[in-house]
Structure 1
Amino acid sequence: MQKFTFLETDEKVDPSDIELFHHLKFNDWGGDKNRRYTAIKDSLKTLSRMLHAVYGKRVILLIDEYDVPLAKAHASKDPVYYKQMLDVIRGLMGSSLKTNEYLKFAVITGCLRISKESIFTGLNNFRCYSVLNKSFSKYFGFTSEEVKEMLDYYDLSDKFDIIKEWYDGYIFGDTEVFCPWDVTSYISSILEGEDDTPENYWINTSSNSILDDFVNDPNFEISNKFEALLDGESITQDVIEELTYDQMSASEKNLWSVLLMTGYVSKAEKAGKKDGLKLRIPNAEITCLFKDAVVERFNRTLDRSLADAFINAMWNRDEETAGNTLSDILWDSISYFDYGEEYYHGMLNGIFTSRGYSLDSNTEAGLGRLDLRIKDRPNRRIILLEFKRSSSENALEKDCDEAIAQIRAKGYNKTMPYGYRQQVVYGIAFFGKTAMVKLMQE
């Protein structure tokens, strides 16, 4: 409202509109809630009328992220608050778009294509374009050519591959695009003198409550689908384009649809319709969010005494106790997030982070990348872990030996971080809810 304060002093504006504008600006209604709600619903139409009075032209209305208030109301888990917010947004859209003679046209953006019957009732000449439509698809993000041009301008062409790995992968219509916020944030970070390590910028722009709700809902059997996605594969899923936020958890189909529309998954190929659509995680950044959601869920269910017993056995080089205790943790804690190597990796992350250790995951070491390094800074000691996912319980010991052989061959254990004095090295193999831990002998 502050941008339009000049309207209050223009003699061409109706005094009653100036009074309404003043009340809206200062949220001053003298306790009259009904008048306040009505004025808020009519606020964009009021502003349109005032601008038309001053300039003699119909206005162009741009509304960005129109559904964010509804998303936040839904995340509050308060159905009364959600219903009130829905009423306000419905009224705001109706007065500004349907009965607004001062409007030339409007462009509205949001994450979900909320059903027309829910908010946009009675609107004529209403065209909606989602991530599944070809029209305007190249404007939903940066194309590969645009990213290359930007990198060339800043002499950062060598960063293209890492940007593609972390921030590309969205297919809108038939166009593959990069997330513009991530790309510009990454480039800005380098230009400001930071190193070129990619960051998760998404986590600062969203509460991720939608993903968390999906991960923690016991009503959906989705283990195989999550495992496939985290392994870099695609899944086939029916989706629907029109939803209301309070319908999101009504079915698994609805939740996958929301994850698609909000960018947690993307189309896996340019062809394809909403029935039987192939979906995948678009990039490394979103993969991290999925892993974090799994780890957070695991942390909430973790038996702290079992975690302490496992960690103590690891430091004490007691491989038998460590393996038995880790199997107990798997048995007690995992429900439907089972059996994928990424899950086991996330589970071990959760065990050690829950007890205050710092971790290096998939870190460069020797001639390759070590699965996990656990650092106990106060005691200046570390644990090195390499994981294997076994095909059967009988293969656990063989796979532990292979993990240890890989550590030796790649030289993961040859150097320790500066200042550390002691390291313990293990190969770990998993099959279902059974684990084996094997100590590497020096």
Structure 2
Amino acid sequence: MGNYLNPDIITFTEAVESDIYVDKTELLKYTNSILRTTQKYICISRPRRFGKSITANMLAAYYECEQDSKELFSKFKISASENFEKHLNQYDTIFLNMQEFLSQTKNIEEMIELVKKSVIWDLLDKYPDFRYFDNTNLMRTMQDVYSKTKRQFVVIIDEWDCVFREYKINKEAQEKYLDFLRDLLKDKGYIALAYMTGILPIKKCGTHSALNMFDEFSMIDPGPLAEYVGFTEEEVQKLCDKYGMDMGEVKSWYDGYSFEKAPSVYSPRSVVSCMRFGKIGNYWNQTETFEALKLYIDMNFEGLRDDVLSMIAGECVPVNTGSFANDMTTFHTEDDVLTLLIHLGYLAYDYDNKTVKIPNSEVRSEYRKE
């Protein structure tokens, strides 16, 4: 067990032993279904506090091969799946929170080098007796380990997009980072599953559409993973019954995100806090800076402020999400700003009608402050 290779499952254990844990383990049925296939690359983009890290820790606890997590998962929905034990604890699992590496380094070169050294350190600690072609080269070292063990890797990358938030205008840094991820993951036989989470969808830098092998599931189109974006109506109703909260009031404040396969999706952080503290409040907003919201609205592309006022009044506004560059700096039209606000959770998107709205009372109260 290392820091990044087959890490301790304590983080997920703490999550499930908390006051409130909503069982989302059936997501593993989907990841199990695409393991070791050409669909084995998944990128999940959601707003802050929508359970991305808990889910990433869940995957690590399930797949990693140095601890037995059968008892941990046996009480949850995934245990009823016919493939539950087939993939349980069967893979060398690498878990990387990119924000951790970013905060410890001064530039993108140092960050990438620290990632490489950290993972290699764990690999050589677990497999010290192998003959390595170049044990300073992460990709070759992973290939050597796979060649000897015939055990593929599950690679989980949390906060994958932090580079694009920190180095907003540094395209060279962005391209070096994309090149690193491509070289690590793309067309590698040692990869059984690559799972990335972040706020933003994958950045496309001209010819550097380096990660085009990924299926992307976002707030615009979460596809078959819609019910795992947040809490569903059924899940929230059960919590309201248990904690004695008024479902209608909770719905007004925290519902509002809607997808084809999940017509009502609630902000999970807000619901959990509401249940724990026994009162309605602006809980998700406390984790996010609405100065950013003001910044984007103050760009005041033609019609933007008028459309915001219309949405505050409860109306829907048409939007074209196709031109968005998947970053926080490239804005050419009002549509680009509105699309970013969808990914940040400040707006809810209607895929069928191609419109946006303010999702609920919690978020609407912040627009009114602005």
Q: What TM-score does the superposition give when structure 2 sets the normalisation length? A: 0.58
The partner residue of 1:255 within 331, 334, 337 is 337
1:36 to 96, 110, 115: 110
Corresponding residue for 1:108? Answer: 196
Match of 2:352 in 1: 271
Which residue of structure 1 aligns with residue 322 of structure 2? 240
1:116–1:46 CA distance, 2 compared to 1 (3 A): farther
The residue number in structure 2 matching 1:356 is: none
Is residue 2:308 matched to residue 1:226? Answer: yes
TM-score, normalised to structure 1's length? 0.49
Q: Which has the larger radius of gyration?
A: 1
Structure 2 residue runs of 5 or longer lacking an equivalent are 8-99, 127-141
- Mark the CA change 1:285 to 1:251 in structure 2 (over 3 Å): closer, same or farther: same
1:95-134 Cα deviation digits (max 9, x unpaired): 3322654321111122222334469734464211222333
Residues 42 and 3 of structure 1: is their aligned pair in 2 closer, same or farther, counting only changes over 3 Å? closer
Aligned residue for 1:148? Answer: 237
Q: CA RMSD in A?
A: 3.7
- Output one character per residue of 1:207-255: Cα deviation in whole Å (capped at 9) or x when no partner: 3354222221144332321111111111122222752425532221111
Residue 58 of structure 1 aligns with which residue?
152
Aligned to 1:165: 252
CA 168–127 in structure 1, closer or farther in 2 if over 3 Å, else same: same
Does 2:357 correspond to 1:283? no
Determine if contact 2:4/2:119 at 8 Å carries over to the other structure.
Answer: no
- Distance (Å, rounded) in 1 between the aligned partners of 2:207 and 2:118: 16
Which residue identity does 1:289 align to in structure 2? E
Cα distance between partner residues in 1 of 2:306 and 2:108: 50
Assess, with a 3 A threshold, how the Cα gap between structure 1 residues 38 and 278 changes in structure 2: closer, same or farther: closer
**Alignment-mate amino acid for residue 107 of structure 1:** Y
Query: Tell me, what secondary structure is at the counterpart of 1:60?
Result: strand
1:3 aligns with 2:3: yes
Other structure's SS at 1:106 match: strand
- Letter of the aligned partner of 1:104 in structure 2? A
5+ residue gaps, structure 1, are 8-23, 191-195, 295-442
Tell whether 2:296 aligns with 1:214. Answer: yes
Q: How does 1:392-411 map to 2 (within 5 A)?
A: none
Q: Match for residue 70 of structure 1?
A: 164
Stretch of structure 1 that moved more, 205-214 or 142-151: 205-214
Give the conservation status (yes or no) of the 8 Å contact 2:237–2:247. yes
Q: Superposed, which structure 2 residues align to 1:373-392 within 5 Å?
A: none
Please identify, of 222-231 and 113-122, the stretch whose mean Cα deviation from structure 2 is larger.
113-122
Q: CA deviation at 1:61?
A: 1.6
Distance 1:5 1:236 in 2: 46
Q: Which residue of 2 aligns with 1:179?
A: 267
Contact 2:285/2:363 (8 A) holds in 1: no
Q: Do the aligned partners of residues 36 and 247 (structure 1) sit closer, same or farther apart at CA in structure 2, a change above 3 Å counting?
A: closer
2:66 aligns with: none
For 2:178 and 2:340, the matched residues in 1 are separated by 20
Change (3 A) 1:120 1:40: farther
TM-aligned CA deviation for residue 172 of structure 1: 3.0
